């Protein structure tokens, strides 16, 4: 179901696109939630481990931007993962206000256990969507995302 707003064609198209994007995100997130929960992680914790696993250690502020989380939220996620001994937080030698976040062996092992299940789940979610559709979807998402980062 789309919008009931009686505006211009452009307004209605934009509202309907927004509604579909939000609903798709919420629907996908709710299905992935169970997968993360079985792994003992929240969505934010998984994405943080994913970023460090693939990109290597990085400072907390950069990490927050990589996974689109606020400074307050990323601090809470980092602190919770540190308590669980999945990551290590170290002050930068150059600037004591900056913390570098590094994956510990326990975090790497947990990530390597959960990631294949995550990949299988999203492969299933995107089944039936062709290569050209993926490219177009990625282009549109990037266009929307870049517009918001200016």
| Annotated domain spans of the chain | 1-38, 40-121
Compute the residue count for the chain: 150
What does the pLDDT read at residue 148? 57
Tokens read off for 97: 């206000």
Which range, of 25-34, 83-92, 122-131, 139-148, averages the lowest pLDDT?
139-148
149: confidence class by pLDDT, cuts 50, 70, 90: low
Cβ atoms within 10 A of the Cβ of 89, count? 13
Q: How far is CA 141 from CA 17, 50, 51, 135, 138, in A?
A: 12, 20, 19, 10, 5
Region 104-126 average pLDDT: 96
Question: DSSP label at 86?
Answer: S
Report angle CA 18, 47, 140 to the nearest 5 degrees.
30
Give the architecture-level CATH label for domain 40-121. Answer: Orthogonal Bundle (1.10)
- Among the listed residues 110, 121, 125, 109, the one whose alpha carbon sits nearest the alpha carbon of residue 35: 121
Q: What is the pTM of this model?
A: 0.85
Report, as an integer, the average pLDDT of 1-21.
Answer: 88
Strands (E), 53-147: 58-59, 87-91, 99-103
Q: Quick check: 150 pLDDT over 70?
A: no
């Amino acid at each position: 179901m789309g919008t009931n707003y009686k505006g211009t064609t452009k307004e209605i198209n934009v509202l309907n696109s927004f509604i579909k994007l939000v609903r798709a995100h919420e629907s996908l997130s709710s299905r992935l939630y169970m997968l993360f929960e079985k792994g003992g992680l929240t969505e934010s914790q998984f994405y943080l481990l994913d970023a460090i696993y693939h990109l290597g250690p990085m400072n907390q502020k950069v990490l927050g931007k990589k996974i689109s989380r606020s400074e307050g939220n990323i601090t809470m996620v980092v602190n919770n993962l540190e308590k669980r001994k999945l990551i290590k937080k170290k002050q930068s030698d150059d600037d004591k206000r900056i913390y570098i976040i590094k994956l510990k062996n326990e975090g790497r092992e947990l990530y390597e256990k959960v990631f294949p299940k995550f990949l299988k789940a999203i492969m299933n979610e995107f089944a039936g969507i062709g290569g050209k559709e993926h490219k177009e979807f990625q282009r549109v998402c990037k266009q929307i995302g870049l517009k918001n980062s200016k």
